[in-house]
Amino acid sequence: MTIAENSMQRPSLTSLTRKAGAVTALALGLLVSGAYAKIDDSARYEPVAPTIDQARANILIARQLQFTHFRNLGISDELSGDVFDAYLNYLDSQRIYLTQEDIDALSRVKKHLGSALKTGQLQPGFDIYNLVQQRVIERLKFALGLIDNGIEQLDFTADDRIRVDRSEAPWEANQAALDELWTKRIKNAVLAQRLNGADDDAIEETLRRRYEGQLKRAYQARSEDAFQAYMNAFTGMWDPHTSYFSPRTSENFNINMSLSLEGIGAVLQSDNEYTKVVRLVPGGPASKQGQLQPADRIVSVAQGDEKPVNVIGWRLDEVVDLIRGPRNSTVTLEVIPANASDETITRTIAIKRDEVKLEEQSASKDVIELDRNGETYRIGVINIPTFYADFQAMQAGDPNYKSTTRDVRKLIEELKASGVDGVVMDLRNNGGGALHEANDLVGLFIDEGPTVQIRNANNDVQVLEDEDPSVVYDGPLVVLVNRMSASASEIFAGAIQDYGRGLVVGSQTFGKGTVQAVRPLNHGQLKITQSKFYRVSGGSTQHKGVIPDIEIPSRIDKTRIGEDALDHALPWDQIEAVPHARYFDFTGVIDELRNRHEERFATNPEFKLLQKEIEFLNRQRQMDYVSLNVDERKNQHNQIEQTRLTIANARRELKGEEPFEDLEALEDWQDQQAADLDNTDEELDFVIQEGGHIMADLLELDQRMASILMPTQFAAKTEAP
């Protein structure tokens, strides 16, 4: 059946969406005639309108979501309300453009959006988008007006404050209240830059450039911008990994998947008006440089020594184009760090562009020696940045093609030949990759058996198995994970844990336990979740991830990074376990292992420093408001900076380096580090050392681990891991 035929068979739905469009138009008529209708007419916003291709793509997306997505979710009035809220959250997440008056008027179409989206009637969504763009323009002009009046006119003596995160704040009642809010926003930005040493002329130039850039982007809004925003609010109802790619975004997605262009090696996504770092590509320039972090938001981009270009409000594809460039050239990013207390705090990071090479993502090994009670333990460490495979070389029949499993097999043989007492597998920050490599890697450590279960929307379950009875390594094993360990990493860690083949150490993993497929549309592509991963013990890796046997705290904010931090994430559940071997029962030694670990960390200066950093970061994250009184803000700023200096000096002392005399010395050193484009810290960190100590504890507590007992089949339990 064609799209046109299907549309003609649903006249009632079409008439309903016409009604929705009429209500939206009425709402817009009421709103635009308000107090801010009289604005500078030197430039005009041209409302965007949907195209026929977009309407057809919308119908295809609605069908795919209803009939092929893993989550069985119908398009109902309730869903309409959720789409409405998500769409407004996408367009105005901090509630700084729209008023409660706007929301009340727009709410008249709230329950009609679902029916409209079924049949490609996009006008209601476009009307909302156009209104928000008009409000954005009004707000930016208001901000520029304040700056033109002179920031010296602003009062910083009053006992005033501003809310840091407004995502759950009530909408301001009217435009007068928004004026007051935006005055506070300007004051906050000015105060933050003054405290960082900028003079008023430089501050005015920075803010004017920022808001003029955003204003220019608002006037350049395109139909595709509205369509992509609206479709992603819609698709996000099913789960956060289902999304629409416009034709241009599809091109960038395909380029990223093939890693064929040179850049910085970072996966980016739109985060309302910002571009956010999702993850770093292992072996890429940003990963090696070490300063850019997941959840950082990009404010500006500079080429070489040129002036930075503010990219707030830019489309993702345009930011990507700006960051890309020829090999060995330098791009400088101004970012709001993930742990910043508010959006006025930024840092500058210079990265030398390069090609992301497969060999730089390869597994590598090291050996650490631990002297304990007069005995020396040699521990092999294998770092796996990603699960990779050179598919082209494989298809070409190259007998020496690279893959995670082949490389790790070789590294294990080398470690065994060197006489190591145990192996630590480091999967921290490993975001996944090739599924079959995770399956094959488990096979290096077990005789044979299932490794992961995959269930589709029809409840059909496929079991991936290691069919090779040979075992490459049968000695004691520790697997290190953290919050950035995801997908294939979680499959491997979960299987090792379920088989009792080794201990998992670190922090709770990401919880990415779903599988997506990219499907072509007549206009762009749809990335849709089609199945879900389950461990051999029956529990899903989705949402919950893998819980370590021994936990090590992390600086990463779990409330902002991880599957359970995402809206509409698919829940954890379980299915039947599949029979699998159990190599070792750790229940007899796990309490003693944890006690030894805690005693060791209680006196470990690096762990104490980590705890101090985490406490400091948590205090920053928990700040709901910042003061706009200059004296109070200075005190707060000085306390934060002094804590930074104390932590930095403590770390230098641990390394045997001279402490910084003052904050200026610390900042000079940080500038030097940022300028050192090839700076990497290859030092083995204390978490790896602790993994080695846990291994030594295992060997001391149970000599059976030196030569693993042969596995015995058992009836696996079906409770959560």
Residues belonging to the active site: 487, 498, 512
Query: What CA–CA distance (Å, rounded) separates 162 from 96?
Result: 12
How many angstroms separate the Cα of 337 from the Cα of each of 331, 349, 496, 509, 564?
17, 11, 35, 21, 21
Residue with structure tokens 């707060």? Answer: 636
Q: Taking Cα atoms as reference points, which of 379, 474, 367, 387 lies closest to residue 427?
A: 387
Beta-strand relationship, 309-310 and 297-303: antiparallel
Q: Taking Cα atoms as reference points, which of 278, 284, 205 lies closest to residue 241?
A: 278
**Cβ pair 541, 534 in contact under 8 A:** yes
71-100 burial, b at 16+ Cβ within 10 Å, e below that, comes to: beeebeeebbebbbebbbbbbbbbbbbbbe
Q: Taking Cα atoms as reference points, which of 238, 233, 19, 14 lies closest to residue 132?
A: 233
First-to-last alpha carbon distance for the chain, in angstroms, is 46
- DSSP letters, 594-637, are HHHHHHHHHT-HHHHHHHHHHHHHHHHHT--EEE-SHHHHHHHH
Neighbours of 514 (CB within 10 A): 24
Neighbours of 565 (CB within 10 A): 16
Query: What CA–CA distance (Å, rounded) separates 43 from 216?
Result: 10
Q: Helix %, strand %, coil % for the chain, to 5?
A: 45, 15, 40
How many angstroms separate the Cα of 98 from the Cα of each of 30, 105, 188?
14, 11, 20
Angle, helices 663-675 vs 630-654, to 10°: value is 70
- DSSP letters, 346-378, are -EEEEEE-B---GGGGS-EEEEEEEEETTEEEE
Q: What is the dihedral of CA 546, 498, 387, 567, to 10 degrees?
A: -30
Number of H-type helices and E-type strands within the chain: 22, 21
Mark out the alpha helices in 196-241 (DSSP H runs).
200-219, 223-235
